[in-house]
A and B are shown apart, each in its own frame.
Chain A
Amino acid sequence: EVQLVESGGGLTQPGGSLRLSCSASGFTFSTYSMNWVRQAPGKGLEWISYISPSGSSIYYADSVKGRFTILRDNAKNSLYLQMNSLRDDDTAVYYCARDQAFATLNHWGQGTLVTVSS
């Protein structure tokens, strides 16, 4: 069974940093592209980043470009999101999600809450 488990969320001040992790199991992690998606409280879904299976292709939404970095460690079956220069409007539940051939985001984690507040 495919499982994705996020961790690393919490409360941080504006301008601070956090590193989210997503631990994957139940599939060959190194052969799937991965994404981060977030959802601010009471708002819709926002795709924020993609990484290819090898890590050679990476894309970001404009809202996080230059502040967030997506990484993966295929040996550890793990996906990461390094978040720097955090702002109030980065407050959201952050989900990791796996792609499938010809599909998108067909498996999701349970999410981890990031709160940016002074």
Chain B
Amino acid sequence: DIQMTQSPSMLSASVGDRVTITCRASQTISVWLAWFQQKPGKAPQLLIYKASILENGVPSRFSGSGSGTEFTLTIDSLQPDDFATYYCQQYHSNSRTFGQGTKVEIK
């Protein structure tokens, strides 16, 4: 199976900060990478798919980049609603795998 490694596992940031989360795949996945946001007690929400395409309705302060094995999720000007846990997921292989998650906390 393809292993997905996110970093950092947790970060503390302030409202207005620019935040970057990295996801690394154990083998190339082209651009078949998605990012999800999850808040406590809620189902995850798709933010970005195919590495850089913003899902409908997702604020433009979210952006994704990368291809191959290295990917990033960037949140420009962090808002109070953005404090949550973020997951990457590869869907290049038939056995899809998630990263372990990155919790974004209020500094």
Bound-complex Cα distance A59 to B34 (A): 19
A57 to chain B, nearest CB (A): 8
In angstroms, Cα B55 to Cα A22, docked, is 23
Residues of A within 8 A of B53 (CB): 102-103
**Binary contact readout A16-50 vs B (1 if CB under 8 angstroms, 0 otherwise):** 00000000000000000001010000001111001
Residues of B within 8 A of A62 (CB): 1, 95
Question: Is residue A108 within 8 Å, beta carbon to beta carbon, of the partner chain?
Answer: yes
B46's closest neighbor in chain A, by CB?
A106
Q: Which of A37, A95, A109 is the most central at the interface, judged by chain B CB atoms within 10 Å of its CB?
A: A37
B101 within 8 A of A: yes
Q: Does A11 interact with chain B (Cβ within 8 Å)?
A: no
Q: Point out the residues of chain B lying under 8 angstroms from A106, CB to CB.
A: 46, 49, 55
Q: How many residues of B contact A (CB 8 A)?
A: 23
Q: Type the 1/0 row for B26-55, where 1 means its CB is closer than 8 Å to any CB of A.
A: 000000001010100001111001100101
B98 with A95: CB separation less than 8 A: no
B26 to chain A, nearest CB (A): 15
Given contacts A44-B87, A45-B36, A47-B89, are A103 and B98 in contact (CB under 8 A)?
no
B91 is an interface residue with CB less than 8 A from chain A: yes
Q: Are B44 and A105 in contact (CB under 8 A)?
A: yes
Beyond A45-B44, A109-B43, A110-B43, whether A104 also contacts B96 by CB under 8 A is yes
Determine the chain A residues whose CB is within 8 A of the CB of B97 once the complex forms: 47
**Set of chain B residues within 8 Å of A59, measured between Cβ atoms:** 94-95
| Inter-subunit contact B34/A50 (CB<8 Å) | no
Chain B residues within CB distance 8 Å of chain A: 1, 34, 36, 38, 43-46, 49-50, 53, 55, 87, 89, 91, 94-101
Residues of A participating in the B interface, judged by any CB pair closer than 8 Å = 35, 37, 44-47, 50, 59-62, 95, 100, 102-106, 108-111
Q: List 7 A-B contacts (CB under 8 A).
A: A37-B44, A44-B98, A45-B44, A45-B87, A50-B94, A103-B50, A105-B89
